[in-house]
Structure 1
Amino acid sequence: MSYSVAMLSVHTSPLDAPGRTKDAGGMNVYIRALAHALSQRGIQVDIFTRKTDPSTPQVVHLDSQVRVIHIPAGPQAPTHKNELYQYLPTFVRNIDEFRTEEQGEYDLVHSHYWLSGVAGLALSELWQVPHVTMFHTLARLKQMAHPDEPEPPLRLEMEQQLIQQVDRIIAATGDERSQILRFCGAASRSVRVIPCGVDIELFQPYDRRQTRAQLGFSDQQPLLLFAGRLDPFKGPDVLLRAAAMMQEEAQIVIVGGRSEQDEDVRKLRELAAQLGIAERTHFLEAQPQGRMPLFYSAADVTVVPSYHESFGFAAVESLACGTPVVATRAGGLMTVVRHDETGFLVPRAPGFFAERLDALLREPALRERMTQATRDSVLRFSWDSVAEQVQHLYEALLDEASCLIAQ
């Protein structure tokens, strides 16, 4: 069955490096990897994203069947995602003009994040095609996890509309599905659980001593890794506070952000200095995906202290590289990390992280037992498996649409 999918990612491009900005993270990896895996199954995918740089080509080919298409909508410059709603009608209109100029048709819309979902509703109605969405993070669930950080009322309202109007919602875990049903009022048949994925061939274990030497880290001290966006919601400060409380004096490696001038990096450096751990804390800007297996392999433990994760890409990638994870007991992390088997799940407080990290670093037998279990635990998250499940969802929706037309 050959068909074309219009995939929408308004506020961040799959070409952006994860961790480099506050909007570039696991979702970027997901969209790019899923599109490629779908293309291997004969599906044509066009990914539409907002143009943020006048010098960016309109069309970038990722492979023979996947294109990233940059659509003018608002300033051609980085713009905070909370300011983008007003440009969605322009985004929708310009996508349809692109389609008309190419004399093409799309059989299905697949949107990512609420802004793309709003655009997707308009396009699915305009083209009379099914609409699948994945929120990646839902404002209501995020607010429940972190009540001190209120979410914009517009986002809460639009997400609720999307939940009622889209044809299908993809949830990354059973826990996320349950929360969408319970707290957001979604219909049971509209929410399908399909996990996110990991590139099993790219993320694999390497020799710890050799990778540390290659990256320039000491082999005389244990090493704790944080990888991802330097957003307070992700909790890099929690790792720093935990490290200062630990009995083991570990190296701390934080991979994310842009450069020395990054405001988030500056604040974290100041915190490390205040805590007296600056000399053993290393800050590196966001790295290409191809280098991340080296960092995961160099670490004794990867730390994921987020308030909430719909899935937890850093955790899955670390486990695929044979490195145990200590993570917050929240969201998708409870599905990815098997407590006391491949790592530990703890309440989101520095003291709990410090206790479990000390235990892992002080007990080689425990760490070795967990290391042996890590990779096998995530093999089910291969991108081919994920793409197969998404393809089945697409085809079920297309069959439903065909039946409605026939009636």
Structure 2
Amino acid sequence: MYKPVRIAFLSEHASPAALRGGEDAGGQNVYVDEVSRNLARLGYSVDVFTRRDNAEMPEIIDWAPGVRVVNLTAGPESPLLKDDLWPYMPAFREAFLSFALRDEVSYELIHGNFWMSGWVAAELKQRLDVPVVQIFHAMGKTKRLHQGKNDHSPRARIAVETRVIRDVDRLIAQCPNELSELVDDYGADPAKIAVLPSAVNIEIFRPVPQAEARAFLKINPDEFVIVYVGRMLPRKDIRNVVRATALLLQRCPEKEKVRLLIVGGETPEPDPVRTPEIGELQRLASEMGIAERVQFVGKRQQDTLRYFYSAGDVVVTTPWYEPFGLTPLEGMACGRPVVGSAVGGITFTIKDGETGFLVPPRDPQALSERLYQLLCEPALRVSLGKAARERVEHEFTWRMVAARTAALYESLAMVQRPLILPDQPTLDLPIPSVAGR
């Protein structure tokens, strides 16, 4: 009888079941959700372990065929900021061991997500003698460099990352920049690292005819619409987008035909109390005299986000730094040109001049110049958007990520290729090379 290879995903603060768009709910939630689902389609059995932040949440959620979400009790059963979770990681480790012992579950491999789960994974490697694959999603030294005094990570973070990098069997870097961070900043062994880009769900994020999307959202069909989708944090520098929009409006004789659409926050309706960055952006827009041209939408889920992307003429994201960044891929998948800051993974996903444009971070003038170019050249918007969708289809799908991740698992002697069930198609994709080999 076929017994699937069982994988334990550790993701202490980012559950697939969490809503997107909040302060601590973003790309990691999506990664864990999509990779686990697509690994299951390849024949793996995946348990995703996350911290219980709601006393009414069941211990086990049958999340998708072949995927369970296991909520472990570690600390208070209430929401906490991820930077406050570090003291509860020993309890998270013990809760995992108790669950596995009680349910008589054994795992052939552990896949850690983020540095705290990485610590737990490294601990479990010693206890259980199983291989560990680790992805950080963001590195502490890079965060400290770019955020300075606004970095509230626990003091132990960088030392823990260094230990995890040393002890695990394989490391995943999502882009060449992250590979360089691991090697140059932490002294990681290049032979342990595989560059496996993250991706986007091209069935959920797909082009919607702009007229249809605008009718759905009740947006004027004649406006030039700039769209930002993502978390509302200072480092995302949406203030830069507001300033660039103000500069753009200075050049537009018909100002009423330009709109900046900002999607994200802690609540479905924009709330400057629950999401302080919304309040800062509202004040900035008012100071710059463009408040009536900036529309805040609040948090939205994946099944409607394609309408917001598709309603736009251009998608913009200009953070100070970005380890990888999934929202540029979402905009590209919806057939829209993306203007992004030339930092981190954005330099890898956007092809400057082919699928959108790269601009310096914290440079509203440079951003406004690109926005003005796109406003004046509708045909360019169409050609860039078409190329963006094609790039995503060829390079950045979750099925590709799962196949490449499975190939990485197979590079570990203790994990063999699972049987692919007849109704689960195989993928003719290259096995990723591991850097340094």
TM-score range, shorter chain: over 0.9
- Tell me, yes or no, if structure 1 residue 233 matches structure 2 residue 232: no
SS of 1:372's partner is helix
Aligned to 1:378: 392
Distance (whole Å) between structure 1 residues aligned to residue 287 and residue 125 of structure 2: 52
Alignment of 1:300-379 (within 5 A): 300-348=313-361, 349-379=363-393
Distance (whole Å) between structure 2 residues aligned to residue 48 and residue 105 of structure 1: 14
Shift of 1:86: 0.9
Q: Counterpart amino acid of 1:171?
A: A
- Tell me, yes or no, if structure 1 residue 286 matches structure 2 residue 299: yes
Distance (whole Å) between structure 1 residues aligned to residue 110 and residue 309 of structure 2: 35
Shift of 1:160: 1.5
Residues 215 and 400 of structure 1, relative CA distance in 2, 3 Å threshold: closer
TM-score, normalised to structure 1, is 0.95
Aligned to 1:404: none
- Tell me, yes or no, if structure 1 residue 274 matches structure 2 residue 287: yes
Contact in 2 for aligned 1:176/1:331 (Cα 8 Å): yes
Structure with bigger helix share is 1
Which of residues 308, 328, 338 is equivalent to 1:295?
A: 308
Q: Counterpart amino acid of 2:88?
A: Y
Q: Counterpart amino acid of 1:367?
A: R
Which of residues 391, 399, 407 is equivalent to 2:406?
A: 391
Shift of 1:286: 1.5
Which of residues 262, 265, 290 is equivalent to 1:254?
A: 262
Contact in 2 for aligned 1:17/1:288 (Cα 8 Å): yes
Alignment of 1:143-162 (within 5 A): 143-147=144-148, 149-150=150-151, 152-162=154-164
Distance (whole Å) between structure 2 residues aligned to residue 18 and residue 156 of structure 1: 27
SS of 1:153's partner is coil
Distance (whole Å) between structure 1 residues aligned to residue 298 and residue 24 of structure 2: 15
Aligned to 1:171: 173
Shift of 1:146: 4.1
Aligned to 2:37: 36
Q: Counterpart amino acid of 2:45?
A: Q
Q: Counterpart amino acid of 2:140?
A: A
Distance (whole Å) between structure 1 residues aligned to residue 317 and residue 74 of structure 2: 35
Q: Counterpart amino acid of 1:36?
A: R
Write the deviation string for residues 318-370 of structure 1: whole angstroms up to 9, x where unpaired.
11111000000011101100001111101012111111111111122322221
Distance (whole Å) between structure 2 residues aligned to residue 64 and residue 329 of structure 1: 39
Distance (whole Å) between structure 1 residues aligned to residue 144 and residue 98 of structure 2: 37
Q: Larger deviation: 217-226 or 140-149?
A: 140-149
Write the deviation string for residues 9-37 of structure 1: whole angstroms up to 9, x where unpaired.
11221211221x21101111111011000
Distance (whole Å) between structure 2 residues aligned to residue 110 and residue 396 of structure 1: 14
C-alpha RMSD of matched pairs (Å)? 1.6
SS of 2:123's partner is helix
Shift of 1:147: 4.4
Contact in 2 for aligned 1:112/1:133 (Cα 8 Å): yes
Distance (whole Å) between structure 1 residues aligned to residue 326 and residue 141 of structure 2: 21
Q: Counterpart amino acid of 1:374?
A: A
Distance (whole Å) between structure 2 residues aligned to residue 217 and residue 400 of structure 1: 52
For structure 1, the residue ranges without an aligned partner over 5 or more in a row are 402-407
Alignment of 1:43-54 (within 5 A): 43-54=44-55
Contact in 2 for aligned 1:307/1:330 (Cα 8 Å): yes
SS of 1:109's partner is strand
SS of 1:203's partner is coil
Distance (whole Å) between structure 2 residues aligned to residue 157 and residue 392 of structure 1: 30
Q: Counterpart amino acid of 1:22?
A: E
Distance (whole Å) between structure 2 residues aligned to residue 214 and residue 304 of structure 1: 23
Distance (whole Å) between structure 2 residues aligned to residue 84 and residue 399 of structure 1: 31
TM-score, normalised to structure 2, is 0.88
Distance (whole Å) between structure 2 residues aligned to residue 86 and residue 399 of structure 1: 32
Shift of 1:276: 1.4
Distance (whole Å) between structure 1 residues aligned to residue 77 and residue 297 of structure 2: 28
Distance (whole Å) between structure 1 residues aligned to residue 51 and residue 106 of structure 2: 20
Contact in 2 for aligned 1:168/1:190 (Cα 8 Å): yes
- Tell me, yes or no, if structure 1 residue 194 matches structure 2 residue 181: no
Asked which structure has the greater RCO (Cα within 8 Å, sep 6+), the reply is 2
SS of 1:111's partner is strand
Write the deviation string for residues 177-216 of structure 1: whole angstroms up to 9, x where unpaired.
1232122211011111111011112211111011011111
Aligned length: 400
Distance (whole Å) between structure 2 residues aligned to residue 55 and residue 264 of structure 1: 30
Contact in 2 for aligned 1:11/1:115 (Cα 8 Å): no
